[in-house]
């Protein structure tokens, strides 16, 4: 009998303080739906669900016939399940970590180093940069999801410099003037002017930041109280961030970075050196296996402003939505394939009128999350079909095709992470 290549997983919840509380959290709701034993504490944040073999959150195997307890242990013994190219390229490890995030309060303003910088940072400061790998990330909205991503077009930043004098004060007249002048110039001048402005802001003295932020908060609050609309300077968001992180320099980042409001199914891709922050909502996220994050605000964690200012891509752009492509083989499949080797995410949306659906075999290990619907899964190496409902997570070994029987009338929504080399 061939080794069983498909089995359900019980995944690890991380209760970080920024997560949504109790059953407000999609993470908690998925958990409660898939596991009737799970008790959700309404006074606890359910921030992340980790679907993978990371040592700090190795998924448990829900199958007593398999002798290994966790996915990491199983993969160590069954290397072929990774797929031949993946096994060789990533030294016998699953190259990605798949997650669900439920964000209540903003996560830090951050960027992730490319491989070259990651190696350097890890060598210089391993206590802050725990490994030598890059960490590209992709977030796909499950509910409406708000985040900051990449630098805004220069015209927008220049407009904020006029409309928000507190912001201009921190940047200073010289840098602000230089940015305005760069508007009709080449991309090199734009990048250098933008870097100068952003660095001035981030390196402002704490005392001055607090003063200017208090002035801005007071001004917005008074205008709002008087019934005036302050949305041209994102008044509501500024007040909200200031409430979450009083006096934090990161509150001003909304005037530099694009504000994205993703609808379910829409995605953003965070390549190396792109500044970003998740603000609110639920998403699935996939990332390369790494913990390297350079932070500079909206966080109580270690911040490294000089490294962040130095490393960022100072490329203004409005287009930050990452678009999936439609599969030619499968009308229900959308593929989010970022320009990095480490991972690809697929979204499968199958109408309830379909009774049977085949999950395509790929030359990579996969992890599948059921967000909506009920199925039973069978494959050549599985003896008894595996029932899965909303919140269910399935591991699929490389080159294994899985057929799903849908329980009518529910539509089926699933996400799959894999590595297509
Ligand atoms: Zn990030």
Joined tokens for residue 331: 């009308």
Catalytically active residues are 295
Residues 222 and 287 in one domain: yes
Residue 18 lies in a domain: yes
Residue 265 lies in a domain: yes
Specify the pTM: 0.96
Residues 262 and 400 in one domain: no
Residue 299: the pLDDT is 86
Residue 148: the pLDDT is 97
Picking from 246, 281, 311, the residue at the C-terminal end of a domain is: 311
Residue 25 lies in a domain: yes
Residues 155 and 272 in one domain: yes
Ligand 1 centroid, distance to 137 Cα (angstroms): 6
Positions of the chain with pLDDT lower than 50, given as ranges = none
Which sign does the torsion angle of CA 110, 116, 122, 124 carry? negative
Residue 1: the pLDDT is 64
Residues 19 and 109 in one domain: no
Picking from 311, 337, 361, the residue at the C-terminal end of a domain is: 311
Half-sphere exposure (Cβ direction) of 297: Cα atoms closer than 13 Å? 29
Ligand 1 centroid, distance to 270 Cα (angstroms): 7
Residue 107: the pLDDT is 93
Residues 187 and 302 in one domain: yes
Show the domain range for 189.
105-311
Residues 228 and 249 in one domain: yes
Ligand 1 centroid, distance to 269 Cα (angstroms): 10
Can you list the alpha helix ranges (DSSP code H) found in 45-114?
71-77, 84-89
Please tell me the distance from the alpha carbon of residue 252 to that of residue 297, in angstroms, as a whole number. 10
110 annotated as belonging to a binding site for a ligand: yes
Give the gyration radius of the chain's Cα atoms.
Answer: 23
Cβ atoms of 138 and 253 within 8 Å: the answer is no
Residue 297: the pLDDT is 83
Residue 103: the pLDDT is 98
Ligand 1 centroid, distance to 215 Cα (angstroms): 30
Residue 402 lies in a domain: yes
For the chain, the domain total comes to 2
> How far apart, in Å, are the Cα atoms of 26 and each of 49, 104, 185, 188, 344?
10, 11, 46, 43, 22
Residues 138 and 252 in one domain: yes
112 annotated as belonging to a binding site for a ligand: yes
Picking from 278, 311, 344, the residue at the C-terminal end of a domain is: 311
Residues 385 and 257 in one domain: no
Joined tokens for residue 125: 């400061």
Ligand 1 centroid, distance to 274 Cα (angstroms): 9
Residues 298 and 364 in one domain: no
Residue 376: the pLDDT is 97
> How far apart, in Å, are the Cα atoms of 307 and each of 78, 112, 113, 131, 159?
40, 11, 10, 16, 27
Ligand 1 centroid, distance to 206 Cα (angstroms): 24
Residue 219: give its domain's CATH number.
Answer: 1.10.441.10
Residue 41: give its domain's CATH number.
Answer: 2.60.120.10
Residue 41 lies in a domain: yes
Cβ atoms of 415 and 285 within 8 Å: the answer is no
Ligand 1 centroid, distance to 31 Cα (angstroms): 24
122 annotated as belonging to a binding site for a ligand: no
Residue 262 lies in a domain: yes
Residues 91 and 171 in one domain: no
Residues 293 and 167 in one domain: yes
Strand partners, 148: 259, 277
């Amino acid at each position: 009998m061939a080794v069983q290549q498909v089995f359900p997983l019980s995944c690890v919840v991380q209760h970080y303080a920024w997560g949504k509380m109790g059953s407000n959290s999609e993470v908690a709701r998925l958990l409660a739906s898939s596991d009737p034993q799970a008790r959700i504490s309404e006074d606890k944040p359910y921030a992340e669900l980790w679907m993978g073999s990371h040592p700090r959150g190795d998924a448990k195997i829900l199958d007593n016939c398999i002798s290994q307890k966790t996915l990491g242990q199983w993969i160590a013994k069954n290397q072929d399940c990774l797929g031949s190219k993946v096994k060789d390229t990533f030294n016998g490890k699953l190259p990605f970590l798949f997650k669900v995030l439920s964000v209540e309060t903003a996560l830090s303003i951050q960027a992730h180093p490319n491989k070259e910088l990651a190696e350097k940072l890890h060598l210089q400061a391993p206590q802050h940069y725990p490994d030598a790998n890059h960490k590209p990330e992709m977030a796909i909205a499950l509910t409406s999801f708000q985040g900051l991503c990449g630098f805004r077009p220069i015209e927008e930043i220049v407009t904020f410099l006029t409309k928000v004098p507190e912001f201009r004060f921190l940047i200073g007249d010289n840098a602000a003037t230089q940015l305005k002048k760069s508007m009709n110039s080449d991309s090199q001048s734009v990048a250098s002017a933008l870097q100068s402005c952003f660095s001035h802001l981030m390196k402002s003295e704490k005392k001055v930041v607090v003063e200017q932020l208090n002035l801005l908060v007071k001004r917005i609050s008074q205008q709002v109280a008087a019934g005036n609309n302050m949305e041209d300077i994102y008044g509501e968001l500024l007040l909200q961030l200031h409430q979450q992180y009083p006096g934090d320099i990161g509150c001003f980042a909304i005037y530099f970075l694009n504000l994205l409001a993703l609808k379910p199914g829409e995605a953003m891709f965070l390549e190396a050196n792109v500044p970003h922050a998740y603000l609110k909502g639920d998403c699935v996220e996939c990332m390369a296996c790494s913990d390297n994050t350079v932070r500079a605000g909206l966080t109580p964690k270690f911040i490294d402003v000089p490294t962040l200012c130095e490393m960022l891509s100072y490329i203004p752009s409005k287009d930050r939505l990452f678009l999936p492509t439609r599969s030619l083989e499968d009308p229900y499949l959308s593929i989010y394939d970022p320009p990095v080797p480490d991972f690809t995410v697929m979204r499968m949306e199958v109408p309830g009128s379909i009774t049977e659906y085949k999950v395509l075999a790929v030359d990579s290990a996969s992890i599948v999350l059921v967000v909506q619907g009920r199925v039973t899964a069978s494959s050549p190496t599985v003896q008894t079909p595996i029932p899965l409902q909303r919140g269910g997570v399935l591991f699929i070994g490389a080159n294994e095709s899985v057929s799903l029987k849908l329980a009518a009338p529910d539509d089926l929504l699933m996400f799959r992470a894999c590595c297509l080399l």
